[in-house]
Amino acid sequence: MSTTPLADLGPIAQAPCRPVAPPPRPGLYAGLWLYGVSLALMVLGAIGLAPWDVLHSGVTEHVPISLGQAVIVFSFVVLLLWIPLREKPGLGTVSNALVVGIAADATLAMFDAPASMLARIPLMVGGIVLCGFATALYIGAQPGRGPRDGLMTGLARRTGLSIRLVRTGIEITVVLIGLALGGTLGLGTVAYALTIGPIAQWMMPWFLVDLAPAPGVAPDRSLNCPAEPA
């Protein structure tokens, strides 16, 4: 199991750094797109939305925007919560704010929700597992966390609590706010809130990459880039 820590790097500090292996960009964008697909799978399953989407769906009850558009809007709202946590935005932050919502709307436009419960249950379960996989994939690339996961990792770093505990607490809080706005709660919501943290934490070491100075850049402790391995 990898012991590589999550780097606390902003966009300027990231510039001279590069991953040792594998390259982060494919992992970043594949993870973000799959994250959006996973949210859409739970919508199509219609057994309960992911906690953040309970909030997003509640907002769409009052504002004429799509689910994906609500995801994008709230991504930038959540970034305001980064300020007291001193989280540093990066390429992944801006990419997350845009790609996830686009992927969710694109997937929903391509497929219709099945009527059979036998088809809907696998969509719900698959959406949860895929979201945990996608979270580990794009966070592990270390180009900067997305707005919601930056909130998660920021709280974990500042409080010393595990990612599993922090993520679960955030999901439960978001569900309560979403319900107050008229969002939909279901079995899938509860299953997601209780399992996404453990799944993401379990898979994270598979994709977490080491960072090293880019070629021609001398190791610099102030950049938090480790020396190139021998």
pTM of the predicted model, to two decimals?
0.75
User: Quick check: 20 and 210 in contact, CB under 8 A?
Assistant: yes
Residue 113 Cα distances to 44, 52, 123, 132, 203, angstroms = 4, 20, 10, 22, 29
Give me the amino acid identity at 77: V
The helix (run of H) or strand (run of E) holding residue 126 is helix 117-140
pLDDT tens-digit series, residues 146-156: 788 788 888 88
pLDDT tens-digit series, residues 178-192: 999 988 788 888 888
User: Quick check: 33 and 99 in contact, CB under 8 A?
Assistant: yes
Question: What average pLDDT does the segment 46-69 reach?
Answer: 91
